[in-house]
Amino acid sequence: MEKRRLGNSELYVNPVGLGCMGFSHASGDPMEKGAAVKTIREAYEIGYDFFDTAEVYTGIYPDGTISHNEELVGEALKGVRDQVVIATKMGVHHNEDLTLRMDSRPEIIRKSVEESLKRLGTDYIDLYYQHRIDPKVEPETVAETMTELIREGKIRYWGISEATEEYLRRASAVCPVTAIQNRYSMMARWHETIFPVCEELNVSYVAFSPLANGILSGKYTPDTKFEGRQDYRGGMPQYTKEGYAKAKGLLELLSRLAEEKHATMGQISLAWMLCKKPYIVPIPGSRKIERLKENFGAGSIALSAAEVADIDAKLDTMSFDVFGGHTAK
């Protein structure tokens, strides 16, 4: 399994990374701390070497205490810190009604990085993302702050999540961006327009929600009982009966391809993007060891350029209702 270089950096990672959000946020009640730490460490033993978290990934345990995702990641990777790449994010905060508040002022970035370093139990962050664009702060201002943090040794490289072309270009002109992290899956292809910019600027594309919040694994349907208020999937459009019906053709295609390749539907979904561009690194998440092994194994599945093109041609004839604010087609 050949490692992938993140942008122009000295960071090399295996093709599939681990999105750690679900251990404490958005996938039901947070996983019990000891079990979560053990599972993340087992992911490292499986072969994962790229771990993604964020300061805003928190959840509430049944006893009312808070689960901080960064703390779980930091504890799990003690003793192997120099063998992994840790990415975290700043600039997003939850309001009481669960809406998001953006704040990327320099003083907030500096406060956030210090708190993240403490929670992670490390003295440097490999890849530090601006989690969402703050319309009140110019990209040049954010990039200047990142330049200072790199110079001070607190972060090694930086990136932007949910990046646009204009913002990426302006920010990268001040401090080269190593990676963007945008939504991307077979059902969410609207950011493909930024691929040429990634290639021009040598920026990696870290794909979050690469299985479209699980539906492309073939394991979930509109009848799936998700885990209440702290699991957001139940309200997503792809899990309505109408949305699921629109995805039926794609799920059938994945099922056929999985049988042909002796793989799973989820593995084909990940292999499709891995074989599409050498700078894409998907970061699926799971709490289950068997699923972690399955996802990681997608890095060893080869699809030819012709097979990828054939899948793309079929996707071009489909439309989906999918979480993320776009109608994909």
CA 56 to chain centre: 14
Cβ pair 210, 237 in contact under 8 A:
no
Task: Write out the two tokens for 67.
Answer: 């689960």
Could you give the residue ranges of the DSSP H alpha helices within the chain?
33-46, 69-76, 106-120, 139-151, 165-174, 195-201, 241-261, 265-276, 289-297, 305-315
Phi and psi dihedrals of 175, rounded to 5? -145, 110
Number of helices and strands in the chain (H, E): 10, 16
86: closest CA among 133, 43, 140, 144? 43
| Cα 212 off chain centre by | 11
DSSP 278: T
Query: Residue 157: which of 146, 168, 173 has the closest Cα?
Result: 146
Alpha carbons 75 and 316: distance in angstroms, whole number: 44
The residue annotated as part of the active site, out of 48, 57, 129, 157, is 57
Q: Is 57 a catalytic residue?
A: yes
Strand pairing class (155-161; 125-130): parallel
The DSSP string of 63-115 is TSPEEEHHHHHHHHTTT-GGGSEEEEEESEEE-TTS-EEE---HHHHHHHHHH
**How far is the C-alpha of 29 from the C-alpha of 287, rounded, in Å?**
12
**DSSP labels, 108-159:** HHHHHHHHHHHHHT-S-EEEEEE-S--TTS-HHHHHHHHHHHHHTTSEEEEE
Task: Tell me the catalytic residues.
Answer: 57
